[in-house]
């Protein structure tokens, strides 16, 4: 039944004429990227939703699911396709919300509600009325993940949380890849950045320029030190750190991770590498129990020996238990309140 439903949804989306839709160029590019690996995107969406409703004590048709940071909304489309009770799509980027309404309407899979804004906006009309919160490749970009999980749990009592992230710190190849991207964004910048609002300049240079503008009396060497040591912080927090330094003459602590960095203008982390223990600490005090599942590799768009090799890897991931963290391309955090 699973594969049949996935194949039907695949065909429906694959036949969509994206270039004919009245959506932004950004989301045309983004949605086409998903279509290039559509079977894989659908597989991951199914995995996230299945892990959620399997842990719920509610009938399938009564579950209210909210996709946070939905982007092109593949999880929301899948949720509507398989008939989950109520589907809410949300994203902080207004253009994505507008474009997803066009995309989902064209597919006949428009969610029950589209909310543009943060989790606070979601809570305004749905406080304690969401059963399942889901994301794919979102939590590794959230500036303050601890606050995000706190708001998720406090605003939606009893909600199950399922988050897929490709920022797998245990896979040495993924870890090396993301550290390379961290260093590029931090020291060189990313001229290929195509999402409006994200910086293309070096994050270090952006922080240095901010400190130089707001604290012109600091020496050049102190500006450079403070710019380096405030890696992974937004402007408001950088300002607080520098003011504290001026008052106490104590430098802020050195970042715990050697390369993790974020865009100081908006707090968007470059694939924030966090351990399982880090993530679990965000929910543990709320009596949530976390288990980890593991996503497969994209065997669907590959052929020949490569496809065979990926199939073998996926079998190993499926049956190797905790060892799977070291070979899986992405991990899935499933957090469930203890009383469920």
Residue 59's CATH number = 3.40.50.150
Q: Is residue 268 part of a domain?
A: no
Rounded to an integer, what distance in angstroms lies between the CA atom of residue 200 and that of residue 263?
9
Same domain membership, residue 118 and residue 40: yes
Total tally of structural domains belonging to the chain: 2
Rounded to an integer, what distance in angstroms lies between the CA atom of residue 122 and that of residue 114?
10
Q: Is residue 254 part of a domain?
A: no
Same domain membership, residue 211 and residue 81: no
Same domain membership, residue 238 and residue 282: no
Same domain membership, residue 80 and residue 181: no
Q: Among 248, 265, 287, where does a domain finish?
A: 248
Same domain membership, residue 290 and residue 144: yes
- CA-to-CA separations, 280 to 228, 285, 329, in angstroms, rounded: 29, 9, 20
Q: Which domain holds residue 225?
A: 173-248
Look up residue 120 and give its two tokens.
């606070």
Which has the closest alpha carbon to 91: 41, 142, 49, 151? 142
Average pLDDT, the chain: 94
Q: Is residue 159 part of a domain?
A: yes
Rounded to an integer, what distance in angstroms lies between the CA atom of residue 226 and that of residue 215?
11
pLDDT in tens, 60-100: 899 999 999 999 999 999 999 999 999 999 999 999 999 99
pLDDT in tens, 38-66: 999 999 999 999 999 999 999 989 999 99
- Band of the pLDDT at 254, cuts 50, 70, 90? very high
User: Which pLDDT does position 1 carry in this prediction?
Assistant: 43
Helix ranges (H only) for the chain are 2-14, 25-36, 38-54, 74-82, 94-107, 119-126, 145-155, 172-183, 203-214, 220-229, 235-248, 276-284, 304-319
């Amino acid at each position: 039944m699973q594969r049949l439903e996935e194949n039907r949804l695949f065909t429906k989306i694959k036949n969509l004429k994206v270039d004919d839709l009245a959506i932004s160029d950004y989301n045309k590019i983004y949605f086409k990227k998903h279509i290039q690996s559509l079977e894989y995107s659908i597989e991951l969406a199914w995995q996230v939703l299945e892990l959620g409703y399997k842990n719920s004590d509610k009938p399938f048709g009564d579950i209210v699911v909210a996709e946070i940071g939905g982007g092109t909304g593949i999880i929301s489309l899948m949720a509507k396709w398989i008939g989950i009770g109520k589907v809410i799509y949300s994203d902080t980027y207004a253009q994505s919300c507008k474009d997803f309404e066009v995309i989902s309407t064209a597919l006949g899979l428009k969610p029950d509600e589209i909310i543009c804004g943060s989790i606070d906006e979601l809570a305004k009309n749905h406080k304690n009325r969401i059963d399942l919160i889901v994301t794919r490749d979102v939590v590794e970009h959230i500036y303050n993940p601890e606050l995000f999980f706190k708001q998720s749990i406090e605003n939606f009592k009893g909600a199950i949380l399922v988050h897929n992230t490709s920022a797998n710190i245990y896979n040495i190849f993924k870890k090396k890849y993301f550290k390379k991207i961290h260093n590029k964004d931090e020291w060189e910048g990313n001229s290929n950045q195509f999402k409006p609002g994200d910086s293309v300049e070096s994050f270090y240079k952006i922080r240095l320029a901010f400190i130089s503008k707001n604290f012109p009396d600091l020496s050049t060497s102190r500006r450079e030190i403070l710019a380096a040591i405030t890696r992974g912080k937004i402007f408001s927090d950088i300002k607080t750190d520098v003011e504290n330094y001026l008052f106490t003459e104590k430098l802020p602590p050195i970042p715990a991770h050697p390369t993790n960095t974020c865009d100081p203008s908006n707090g968007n982390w470059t694939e924030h590498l966090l351990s399982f223990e880090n993530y679990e600490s965000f929910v543990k005090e709320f009596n949530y129990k976390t288990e980890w599942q593991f996503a497969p590799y994209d065997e669907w768009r590959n052929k020949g020996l490569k496809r065979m090799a990926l199939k073998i890897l996926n079998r190993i991931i499926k049956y190797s238990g905790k060892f799977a963290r070291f070979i899986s391309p992405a991990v899935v955090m499933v957090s469930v309140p203890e009383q469920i």
